[in-house]
Amino acid sequence: MEEIRYRPIGRIHTEFKDGTGVPRQAAGASELAGRIEIFDEYLPGLEDLEGFSHIVVVFHLHRVSQPSLNAHPPWDGRRHGVFATRSPYRPNPIGVSVVRLISVESGNLNIAGIDMADASPLLDIKPYVPELNPQGDIRLGWLEGKVNGMNKSKSGDR
C-alpha cells in the first residue's frame, strides 16, 4: 500500500515539556489546561468552532520511539495486543482525545483535559457530539471491571 502522509495544522502546548507525568487519559485531567496553536493557513477552518463545549483532538504522538504490537497496561498484570489497548506505542502513533474547549482567541484554542506532551503536532480537530457516538450495550473486553481509576493514571506510573 502507498505511504500516507499528513501535515500538522498546529501544535499543542502543555506543561509536560519532557513528556513525564502526562495523564494517560483526558478524563483524568479535566482541570489541566493547555493551548492549541493553529497555523495561519488553517485559521479559516476555526469559523463557528467557539460554540462547542468539547472538541476531538487528533495528534501525532511525537515522543513514541519504539512502537510495539504488544502492550503491558499498568492496570493489568499481562500483555495484550496493542490494538486491544490505549497504549501510545502503536505502529502509527496517533492520539485521539476529547477535551473541553474553553475559548478560541486569535488562532489559539484554550483547552482543558489535556493528555498530550508539549509540542505535539496537531493533525485535526472536530467538534465532539455525544449523540454521534455509540451508546447502549458497550462491551469492555479484558478491561471489564478494571476501568475504575484508569483515568487518574499518568505516564511513568507502574
Is the model's pLDDT at 118 over the cut of 90? yes
Task: Give the three-class secondary structure for 9.
Answer: coil
pLDDT attached to residue 158: 41
> Is the pLDDT higher at 120 or at 141?
120
What is the pTM assigned to this prediction? Answer: 0.86
pLDDT attached to residue 99: 95
What cell does 139 get? 462491551
Q: Which tens digits make up the pLDDT trace of 72-106? A: 887 777 899 999 988 899 999 999 999 999 999 99
- Strand (E) or helix (H) holding 35: strand 33-38
pLDDT attached to residue 143: 79
If you average pLDDT over residues 104-123, what whole number do you get? Answer: 95
Burial of 52 (0-12, 13-18, 19+ CB in 10 A): middle
Tell me 73's DSSP state: -
What cell does 57 get? 483532538
Distance, in Å, from the CA atom of 32 to the CA atom of 29, rounded to the nearest integer, reads 5
End-to-end CA distance of the chain: 37
Q: Which tens digits make up the pLDDT trace of 12-63? A: 999 998 877 887 776 767 789 999 999 999 999 999 999 999 999 999 999 9
Phi, psi of 120, rounded to the nearest 5 degrees:
-65, 130
Is the model's pLDDT at 151 over the cut of 70? no
Distance, in Å, from the CA atom of 113 to the CA atom of 36, rounded to the nearest integer, reads 12
